[in-house]
Structure 1
């Protein structure tokens, strides 16, 4: 454990970033937590006060003033805490859209969910095991406040992931119990996201010989392009889609230049399976389509 000399000003530490995987890892060497849909953030507390940084190291203390005040009340001399700032909706789930509004108008709805401790009272804890760091962190956070501890989920990974999916949560993060904290991308932490199905407006179909076909999708109501979805339809539905595309040929939306795309007129709605908790489509596939 490295110990800095004197009462130095603590600096932001680049966070450890989990690797996205299709399914959570098995085995007793991992602990599993809920993946919250919020802003990855870092609380830095030292003799000069309390600051809150974004994932990229921007000082957003003024935007999270109530959380900074709560962090200043923790019974520590100095600390660096890794976590997520969230807002809960009526169903008790973290809600990213509500979070954006709360930052400007509803500070009292903000929570900081702490899941790792990098520094405490003059000691750098990053060479300790994750389990030891979290044990110390859990003891220093009082219950019922704006700063909460991210509890590990009991059970095996497969069962936990099923429950997370059924609950409508974004996903889960699995972490090696004996891992040290190292900034940057890491396979010591793995995130597995759940899928959801939503309807989007079909803008066109991108087809090139020898390559998979993709449906280009837009947000309904706004027309904002959100990404492409792999076309996984059966043969009959695929042929029906090609026919609709030919019958309803349209023009490219302003600013979009994709030579291999056949654009369609408004009116076709696609059901798309995609990763939950993303602003744009990721790992998406077209499941069905209909005329509006």
Structure 2
């Protein structure tokens, strides 16, 4: 049984408040764990069945249950969540390969909420009552863990998260019920990184600026596409300048001289040297 998850709104910045608990934001992908009549199914936030991808998380609890959390993999070198590793797990369907990956890229289910248990719907209970039920659970194996939380001290937790290079913090109202939509009762504060890039072109079919950075030889190395962030004024200013910089085009893109520089915020650099989820901040003049 799938329950559509409760989603986060974005807070303007780190904050502390006695009405909230604060959790580290796990850098994986959302997972709804559903055990019905003893049979376990796993679902993404968009109701895609991913049961076969994570054999180590198919162990049953003592009774039927629906849990909300994130599935994550840990980089053994840094001890931090490795988003690319969990995406590799998610995209692998071939069963022999999946079994190999349970050993080389083991997944953990980091649980932060409980929606049903022993035939009872718990979603109308306040968050702290749901957390108490969660804390009392016997977890099936070390592939399961509970996301820790602290009360009130969101700024102190964010400072720790920032220092460790982790993804961010989630603040949740203690009295919040669980609702299957985006809600201001749950807020995320992302620990963004910043990079300066050159805009070397734009997409034809939909909005997107091609971003690049100089490599050690001075040549431009593509690092991704900026699809979020610029205001209508930024887009207008870009259009006013870019027509003078066109160097060529193909079926999908128009290419520009690397003259326009921009600052972007992003989650991190991927292992292949790309910007992860770049968001335009400002032009650099």
Q: TM-score of the superposition, structure 2-length normalised?
A: 0.75
Q: Write the distance in 1 (CA, Å) between the matches of 2:151 and 2:177.
A: 22
The corresponding residue for 1:86 is 72
Gaps of 5+ in 1: 1-10, 206-213, 232-241, 258-262
Q: Write the distance in 2 (CA, Å) between the matches of 1:246 and 1:12.
A: 49
The corresponding residue for 1:225 is 225
Alpha carbons 1:18, 1:191 under 8 Å: kept: yes
Q: Write the distance in 2 (CA, Å) between the matches of 1:184 and 1:256.
A: 36
Q: Give the one of 266, 271, 277 matched to 1:280.
A: 277
Q: Give the one of 175, 179, 192 matched to 1:178.
A: 175
Listed as ranges, the matches of 1:69-218 within 5 Å are 69=59, 72=60, 74=61, 76-89=62-75, 90-103=77-90, 104=92, 105=97, 106-108=101-103, 109-142=106-139, 145-153=142-150, 156-198=153-195, 200-204=197-201, 216-218=210-212
Gaps of 5+ in 2: 203-207, 214-219, 232-240, 269-274
The corresponding residue for 2:234 is none
Alpha carbons 1:35, 1:170 under 8 Å: kept: yes
Count, aligned residues: 250
Q: Write the distance in 2 (CA, Å) between the matches of 1:287 and 1:228.
A: 17
Q: Write the distance in 2 (CA, Å) between the matches of 1:128 and 1:167.
A: 34
What SS does structure 2 have at the residue aligned with 1:126? coil
What SS does structure 2 have at the residue aligned with 1:94? coil
Listed as ranges, the matches of 1:261-272 within 5 Å are 263-265=255-257, 272=263
Root-mean-square deviation (CA), in Å? 3.3
Alpha carbons 1:24, 1:174 under 8 Å: kept: no
Q: Write the distance in 1 (CA, Å) between the matches of 2:16 and 2:250.
A: 46
Alpha carbons 2:228, 2:280 under 8 Å: kept: no
